[in-house]
Amino acid sequence: MEPATLRRLKTVEGHLKGIVRMAEEDAYCIDLIRQIQAVQAALNKISGQILEDHLNSCVITAIQGEDPKERERVLKEISEVFEMSTKV
């Protein structure tokens, strides 16, 4: 994993711990919701970056490779990721 991606995940982890503290201290509900939305947006951005990296490495390698089953597998994975993103 890219060092920048790991750094972002650790930042989100710290932010989430802050939200837990806020909840334990009975913070104002709207403030909690705003902080949760910020974490969700950060995770979406990280997810998009990981997907982009995957497309530019693993998927390209599989598509350019000789194994049709591997091509099919990676394309199916991408389809599944997009399916799950619409269910969340």
Place of tokens 């650790």: 10
CATH code for the domain of 10:
1.20.58.1000
Q: What is the pLDDT of residues 28-49, one digit of tens each?
A: 999 999 999 999 999 999 999 9
Q: What is the pLDDT of residues 68-77, one digit of tens each?
A: 999 999 999 9
User: Domain range for residue 62?
Assistant: 3-87
Instruction: Give the model's confidence band at 87: pLDDT under 50 very low, under 70 low, under 90 confident, else very high.
Output: confident
What is the value of pTM for the model shown? 0.83
Q: How many domains does the chain have?
A: 1
